[in-house]
Copies of this chain bind each other. A is one copy, B any other.
Amino acid sequence: MNSQELINALADKARLAGKTLSVSSGVERKAALEVIADAIEARSAEIVAANEKDMEAGRASGLNSSLLDRLLLTPERIKGIAGGARQVSQLPDPLGITLRKSTLPNGLELEQITVPFGVIGMVYEARPNVTVDAAVILLMSGNAALLRGSSSAAHSNEVLVRIMREALSGTKISPDVIQLVPSDDRETVKALLHARGKVDLVIPRGSAALIRMVVDDSTVPTIETGAGVCHVYIDEFADLAKAVPIIINSKVQRPSVCNSAETVLIHSKIAESFAPIALKALQDAGVIMHVDSTIEKIAKNAGIEVKPAHVENWSTEYGDLEINVAVVNSVDEANEHIAKYGTQHTEAIVTENKEVAKRFIALSDCAAVMVNTSTRFTDGEQMGFGAEIGISNQKLHARGPMGLEAMTTTTWIVTGNGQIRS
């Protein structure tokens, strides 16, 4: 059996098993998540033992400490994973929700309701917690899951999937709704991306290279998650007392994630007065600054160390304590800069002028616009979704943080009494 046949067979099995989800109630799916959570917690030692094998192999192959940390499962982290599953089980059932309803002049009753996609493939990297996080979100939204994790987490993923499947065997949901795709072969990713008609959706989570590969190669519909080159624009009408904490929080609070800021744009009218304060705060927070020529002069006068920005800086996602600072002459110029270098993720404006905020919003083209608050709030949990399968960086289907709802599609139910079309 080649990789494509293998994936097709797994997808067929998953789709058939998925019928047990299509006809299940929210209460049954919730119960399934609870037994999964219990089983994961109860079998913690088994998971830690399997994870230790991955950790050993990782150390032997010279993985860096940050990657090793992402790979590590401790009893405490396992408890957290189980807690996450319980949290998802508490969320409102996303299926069977009526989105639109009407009665047509000919008496036909029209109803658009939410339904599962069917079979969803996840392609992700080292973190084994994604195996459970994704499976429970997909299961709760009625979807069968094909999970393709990293080979570096193979032992961990294998035991986590086994535990979840064994837990399901005592429920009304078929264990086959969770399928682990072998990770010992790169071809299985390719096959997953070409299983059109067998797999309804593929979601990549991980590096820009992984996401680009999925988007370029896939004939199965995909949702791009990913890169964030986010901006904070400090308008001439900004309350400067708010501006500094927002800049610092947007950059420093967790620089490694996609919703952290990479560039600060300052209106020219307040550059002389405000920039020195902002630059000083960034310097104190240990942030390296790449700046345009106007800011460079201001920094020099203020005795603050900066680097002249090169053109590639403006589109760099640092993921670290580095930031760009530039001056713009208007909200329109800020938006032009953002359109040129941004990734349509999150853009913030600090202003007390509602008209300016309105124009910034209208000219923005991104998943989230922050008005007088930190870019770091583009986050499923912060936004109250309860769970997040990723942050969509595309416009089709879902934009921004994706919760249970984003994992559903719709069906029209048209109920008649023998009506025909004339």
Contacts and interface: CB of A to CB of B under 8 A. Distances in A.
A368 B412 contact: yes
A420 B245 contact: yes
B373 A420 contact: yes
Contact of A411 (B368, B374, B412, B415): B368
Interface string A394-422: 11110110000000011111111111111
A369 B382 CA distance: 37
A221 B411 contact: no
A219 B104 CA distance: 39
Interface of chain A: mostly helix, strand, loop or mixed: mixed
Interface in A357-400: 357, 359, 361-374, 376-378, 382-384, 394-397, 399-400
A115 B115 CA distance: 24
26 contacts: A22-B362, A22-B363, A23-B363, A108-B373, A110-B383, A200-B395, A215-B219, A241-B418, A242-B418, A249-B420, A253-B420, A253-B422, A357-B415, A367-B411, A370-B414, A370-B416, A371-B413, A371-B416, A372-B416, A373-B420, A374-B416, A374-B419, A374-B421, A382-B421, A399-B412, A400-B411
Contacts of A416: 370-374, 377
Stoichiometry, copies per complex: 2
A32 interface: no
Contacts of A362: 22-23
A279 interface: no
A305 interface: no
B219 A372 contact: no
Interface in A222-280: 223, 239, 241-242, 245-246, 248-249, 253
Given A215-B219, A245-B420, A411-B361, A396 B399 contact: no
A117 interface: yes
Nearest to A118: B365
A102 interface: yes
A14 to B, nearest CB: 13
A192 interface: no
A216 B102 CA distance: 36
Contact of A418 (B215, B246, B410, B420): B246
Nearest to A239: B418
B418 A409 contact: no
Contacts of A165: none
Contact of A383 (B223, B382, B412): B412
A410 B365 CA distance: 10
